[in-house]
Structure 1
Amino acid sequence: MPILGLPQSSTPLKPAHFDVEKVFRPNILALHPYRCARDDYKEGILLDANENALGHSIARPSSSSHSNVPDELTPDLIQTLDLDLHRYPDPSHDDIKSRLASLRGLPNPAHVFLGVGSDEVIDLLMRVCVAPEREKILITPPTYGMYSVCAQVNDIGVVKVPLEFSGDAGEGGEKGRFSLRVDEVKKAIDADPSIKLIFLCSPGNPTGTLIPLSSIRAILDYEKFKGIVIVDEAYIDFSEPNASAVSLVKDYANLCVMQTLSKSFGLAAIRLGIAFAQPPIIQILTNTKAPYNISTPTAHLALAALSPASVSSMRTKISTLKSSRTALLQALSAIHDIGASIGGNDANFVMVPILAKQDDTLSKDSLKEVNRTREIDNTRAQKVYKSLAEQNGVVVRFRGNEPGCLGCLRITVGTEEENRTVVQRLKEVLRVL
């Protein structure tokens, strides 16, 4: 069954073992999407969408008086009122997609989908591909929690292949590292042909670990897997150059790469998620999404964020945050009650374990011996997390309940002042807990 809205192509899809039409649920392939009022015409006297022709009702400040202006209408929001807020948004936003395609090295907007955050993309992919109660997704914990949440909401199964952990996270030990177990993923595929989607978070959350493109390619090329590999790259801009799996999209029809404007672009509030894939996947997502999922204010800000000047500013800030990440890790490593960092350092956060409290009455030689073997203390980590937030005004994330993250706190790289503060408050809290 052809995909509605997708032009016919004689070019064979790669890899050869993948049939895109067999991945999507039959009811999705047969779906005739809702036709938006703006799908056909976007200019003229628009009397087709039952919009309010008199415009929005938000009071504006006048030159003579600021009375009756809502307190919420701060000066930075006034220009938003000049947008066509009484009209439904553009359902396609091809101008944004064009800039994203150019930024990530893809040929055209047909390779780009926009969602309300990456979470909408995650949910849509599950709904269009995975049959409730019968089929499954595969995840690699510790990983982003929304994969499991969306799976439960959609009543689909979850197969877990934990990342491999190596190293010693104790004080003075080798940095703990995570890696994708490609052979174990293949074994899971062999054992359960109902797996339709594989979610790989790279760089990982909470691990900060970048998955090598060679490992992703090995799964894409595995003939026994007939589904789609989704690579979640929310933090990719904080990683090394040329690490993005978007470079593989042109060669693999069974790949979907998710990104977002929330992290590197600093636009978490506008909720804009992105999917990069070959046109068949993008067309199905487009057919299935809500009619006007991206608001006009969001689109306005996103387009500005993707201008050359803004992209240059983004890259400058990333460079600053990466330097701050290095400095933060160095400062944390000097605190004796904190172990070596866990995972990779390819995101805008670090993850460190809290160690068991040492006996201050021991001699210096005895303390050195204890420090070499001191264990991670998950209970103490929870207490440190709560004390930081409730008594010290510093909020980090406790991740000690995730596989391989025992006793760990995940700390976002902040401003220089924020980083100095979190280090100082950690020292103070660890003295008393």
Structure 2
Amino acid sequence: MNMSFNLNALLRDNIRKLVPYSSARDEFKGEASVWLDANENPFGSPLPHDYNRYPDPLQHQLKHKLSKIKGVPAEHMFLGNGSDEAIDLLYRAFCTPQVDNVILVPPTYGMYEVSANINDIAVRKVNLTNDYQLNLDGIAEAIDQHTKLLFICSPNNPTGNSINAQDIETILVNFNGIVVIDEAYINYSKQKSFTQALAEFPNLVILQTLSKAWGLAALRLGLAFASKEIIEVFNKIKPPYNINQATQDLVLEALDGVDIINEWIKATVAEREVLVSKLATLAQVEHITPSDANFVLVKLSEPRALYAYLVEQGIIVRDRSKVTLCEGCLRITVGTKPENERLLEAIQTFYN
């Protein structure tokens, strides 16, 4: 437990004093037969389903269903337009432009830095170690009185490995700012989610997504889990209707498919191991980072030329060879068995 954490001391003054916008659906909750409060079109929509009414601004039904799956009470949950919305809200709530700073641990997900730049927040980078773990001494040295956020991606993108849980707990106990753990790929990992530690750490925010294992990337639904107080801050500053009704309806339907998702996860993990074992037989492959995600980071000879060749073959991977500590590497998403076989055949053809 971080006993010295003080949420109010972290909040920007204008956010602490903010009176949030009150929408029509905030002012009246319940059922009615005549809706004349929100200036909506009363005739319906030119679609098979009517979308003329504003959606539930706090997505109560969807959160209730997600709560059963995630094992997290709905009041500890925020739903955003992708995880990117939650990342942006963290900056807007806690970081004063040109005053505060955040700590990133490259190589990591690039949107943390982009969002910092958009919000005019200084970024302090403390590179991961050569085995892609936290440099605790470096992080401790980088923290000052204006450090408000620290982002940790685990399993990490683009490396695929999980970050040592004890190291994360060390930071949670000793850092008085917000520790953000991005668990976008947690479904593929043997490591437990930090959602189990929410009651223990008031400075913990966990990001998850339905874009990966759940196969709903096009619907743009991200999840954030945190204390009730932090969730209340998110709800205070988010756009009134940030999750549209079509997304809410489709996700509610998709959440009935837990068994299918679990089978897909098992299949992906199995294919990941097959892909790794076959890549390891190639002489041109110098290193494969152990992965807890649905992708692998592969260091090999001539990565940029291989990438260009794969593009010519209609096979798209991610060139990470210019990323810090990922020199010479391609990031390869685990596909279906036929897709992986086609990839391996193309790589072998290129090197032969």
Deviation string for 1:44-64 (max 9, x for gaps)? 211111111111124xxxxxx
Name the SS for the 2:25 alignment partner: coil
Tell whether the 8 Å contact from 1:139 to 1:158 is kept in structure 2 after alignment.
Answer: yes
Tell whether the 8 Å contact from 1:101 to 1:111 is kept in structure 2 after alignment.
Answer: no
Deviation string for 1:204-225 (max 9, x for gaps)? 0001111122111100110xx3
Tell whether the 8 Å contact from 1:100 to 1:112 is kept in structure 2 after alignment.
Answer: no
Alpha-carbon distance in structure 2 between the residues aligned to 1:142 and 1:304: 36
Which of 313, 318, 324 is the matching residue for 2:260? 313
1:287 aligns with 2:245: no
Seq. identity, %: 41
Tell whether the 8 Å contact from 2:133 to 2:164 is kept in structure 1 after alignment.
Answer: no
Which of 206, 209, 227 is the matching residue for 2:158? 206
Alpha-carbon distance in structure 1 between the residues aligned to 2:80 and 2:59: 11
Alpha-carbon distance in structure 2 between the residues aligned to 1:23 and 1:85: 39
Q: CA deviation at 1:42?
A: 4.6
1:26 aligns with 2:13: yes
Q: Which moved more, 1:39-48 or 1:116-125?
A: 39-48
Deviation string for 1:274-333 (max 9, x for gaps)? 0000100000000100010001111112112223xx112111110010000000001111
Report the TM-score when normalising by structure 1: 0.79
1:41 aligns with 2:50: no
1:141 aligns with 2:106: yes
Name the SS for the 1:33 alignment partner: coil
Q: CA deviation at 1:93?
A: 1.0
Alpha-carbon distance in structure 1 between the residues aligned to 2:146 and 2:87: 18
Q: Which moved more, 1:34-43 or 1:281-290?
A: 34-43
Tell whether the 8 Å contact from 1:256 to 1:275 is kept in structure 2 after alignment.
Answer: yes
Task: Name the counterpart of 1:332.
Answer: 279
1:388 aligns with 2:335: no
Task: Name the counterpart of 1:248.
Answer: 197
Two-structure CA RMSD over aligned residues (Å)? 1.2
Task: Name the counterpart of 1:185.
Answer: 139
Q: Aligned ranges for residues 284-433 of structure 1 at < 5 Å?
A: 284-307=233-256, 310-342=257-289, 344-355=290-301, 380-389=302-311, 391-431=312-352
Equivalent position amino acid for 1:201 in 2 = C
Which of 101, 118, 121 is the matching residue for 2:67? 101
Report the TM-score when normalising by structure 2: 0.97
> Which blocks of at least 5 consecutive residues in structure 2 are unaligned?
none
Runs of 4+ in 1 over 6 A off after TM superposition: none
Equivalent position amino acid for 1:392 in 2 = Q
Q: CA deviation at 1:99?
A: 2.5
Deviation string for 1:72-109 (max 9, x for gaps)? xxxxxxxxx32x31111110111221222332222x21
Task: Name the counterpart of 2:122.
Answer: 157
Tell whether the 8 Å contact from 2:287 to 2:300 is kept in structure 1 after alignment.
Answer: no
Alpha-carbon distance in structure 1 between the residues aligned to 2:164 and 2:250: 33
Q: Aligned ranges for residues 218-297 of structure 1 at < 5 Å?
A: 218-222=170-174, 225-240=175-190, 243-297=192-246
Alpha-carbon distance in structure 2 between the residues aligned to 1:255 and 1:398: 32
Which of 83, 90, 97 is the matching residue for 1:118? 83
Q: CA deviation at 1:186?
A: 1.5
Q: 1:430 to 1:352 in 2, by over 3 A?
A: same
Alpha-carbon distance in structure 1 between the residues aligned to 2:40 and 2:30: 13
Q: Which has the larger radius of gyration?
A: 1
Name the SS for the 2:218 alignment partner: helix
Alpha-carbon distance in structure 1 between the residues aligned to 2:315 and 2:332: 10
Name the SS for the 1:229 alignment partner: strand
Name the SS for the 1:164 alignment partner: coil
Task: Name the counterpart of 1:62.
Answer: none
Name the SS for the 1:250 alignment partner: coil
Name the SS for the 1:221 alignment partner: helix
> Which blocks of at least 5 consecutive residues in structure 1 are unaligned?
1-13, 59-80, 166-176, 356-379
